[in-house]
Amino acid sequence: MALRREAHPGVTPVLIFRRRTLADREDLLGKVMLAPALFYVIVLVAMPLVLAILLSFSASFAGSLDFHWIGLRNFGAIIRDPQFLLALRNTVLFTVISQALVMVLAVTAAHVLDAAFVGKRVVRFLLLLPWAVPVSLAAMAWTWIFDSTFSVINWTLKAAGLLQGWLYWFGDPTLAMIAIITVHVWRMFPFATVIVLAGMSSIPQDIREAAVVDGASFWRRLFQINLPLLLPIVTVSVLFGVVFTSTDLGVVWLLTRGGPYNSTHVLSTLAFQRGILGANLGQGASIAVFLLPFLMLAAVGMLRVARRAEVGS
């Protein structure tokens, strides 16, 4: 029971007793309301992650529930495996090139959408479509666009007389990687654009107007006003993109399944092939969690930048 003092104008305050409930206990209420989210994170994120880490130290295979601890043997095996090293290199390349392209396109698109023009809403809607389309559906369309035999790009270029020979998009490792990066950038840049656009709207209008009045050119405004002020939010976007891209399975698997001859595997697809299709769960898990320490560092960086941006605002 809690003691409450109720004060009414013109009335002598009286002491009344009321039952103190959960709603009155701010400290406990916060924890209770946070609990469902925490439960969700523990059950659906933390537990699978811990399980994957444990599996990476085991000789487990798909058709068994046995757990044989083998220490770091899986990691030793994959580090000696040229296919793993290629997948690691592809993951880094895929992530760096994709993110660089995404940010260039996102900043460009955000500047275009920041301007006033007829049909701006329609353009915004169209721009967001790739983000909203399910990855499997998009990948099916792109698979046909880049098909080695029936590629619409090839047929169009041929018809226009711009292509001699033939581009085997998924049959050549370099072209296949270009196709993968193209689809991933197409998919990711709308989200980055929205983030940058939100950041641009937070730049005080008077600073922009002052720059215009002072006669600053577009490039000067871009590099000396907009980008420095956008830096915190762009960094958050990049770090999000890095984590998302380096762990992405869908685009690579749906487009090339790691081919031709296992040359376009990234870590997640190689982990799937070895762990699930090949039944080698332990090794698959070790490939999947290999980047975890690096991604955790990236995540810590992301949170710090986000915090700095929050404090700055």
Partner 1 sequence: MADQSDGKWVRVSEGRWRRVSRRDFLKLTAGAAGVAAAAGNFGSLLTSFVRAQQRELRIMTWSHFVPAYDEWFDPYAQRWGQAKGIRTTVDHVSFADIVPRANAEVAAQSGHDVYFFLSPPSAFEQQVLDLADINREAERRYGPMVPLVRKSIYNVNTRKFFAFSDNWVPDPGDYLKSAWTTAGFPNGPSSWEELLVGGRRIKERSREIQIPIGIGYSQDIDSNMATHAIMWSFGSSEQDANENVTLNSEETVRAVEFGATLFRDAMNPAVLSWNAASNNQALNARQTAYILNSISAYRTAQDNRLPVADDINFVGALRGPRARWACEHVMGCWVIWRFSRNPDNAKAFLLDLVDNYREATINSKLYNFPSFMGSVAEKKVPLADKPEEGRKWVRAAVTNDPFGSTPRNKLAILRDAEEWSTNVGHPGPANPAMGEIFDTFVIPDMFAKAATGQLTPQRAVAETDRRVKEIFTKWRRLGLVGGGGRDR
> Rounded CA gap, 313 and 304, in Å?
14
Q: Does position 277 bind partner 1 by CB under 8 A? A: yes
Expressed in angstroms, the distance from the first to the final Cα of the chain is 43
Q: Find the part of the chain contacting partner 1 (CB under 8 A) among 115-123, 166-174, 193-201, 298-306.
A: 166-174
Q: Does position 171 bind partner 1 by CB under 8 A? A: yes
Q: Does position 273 bind partner 1 by CB under 8 A? A: yes
Please, which residue, 170 or 191, has the CB nearer to partner 1? 170
> Rounded CA gap, 279 and 128, in Å?
38
Q: Does position 164 bind partner 1 by CB under 8 A? A: no
Q: Does position 250 bind partner 1 by CB under 8 A? A: no
> Rounded CA gap, 271 and 261, in Å?
16
Please, which residue, 20 or 220, has the CB nearer to partner 1? 20
List 57, 142, 170, 189, residue binding partner 1 (CB under 8 A): 170
Cα 37–chain centre separation: 20
Q: Which residues contact 71 (CB under 8 A, 6 or more apart)?
A: 57
Work out whether strand 14-18 and strand 2-6 pair parallel, antiparallel, or are unpaired.
antiparallel
Q: Does position 276 bind partner 1 by CB under 8 A? A: yes
Q: Does position 157 bind partner 1 by CB under 8 A? A: no
> Rounded CA gap, 51 and 238, in Å?
28
Q: Does position 6 bind partner 1 by CB under 8 A? A: yes
Q: Does position 140 bind partner 1 by CB under 8 A? A: no
Q: Does position 91 bind partner 1 by CB under 8 A? A: no
In the complex, least distance from residue 271 CB atom to partner 1, rounded to whole angstroms: 12
List 45, 64, 89, 152, residue binding partner 1 (CB under 8 A): 64
Task: Tell me which residue of 298, 272, 295 sits closest to 285, measured CA to CA.
Answer: 272
DSSP string, 124-154: HHHHHHHHHS-HHHHHHHHHHHT-TTT-HHH
Binding site for partner 1 (CB under 8 A): 6-7, 21-23, 59, 61-66, 77, 82, 148-150, 166, 168-172, 176, 256-262, 273-274, 276-280
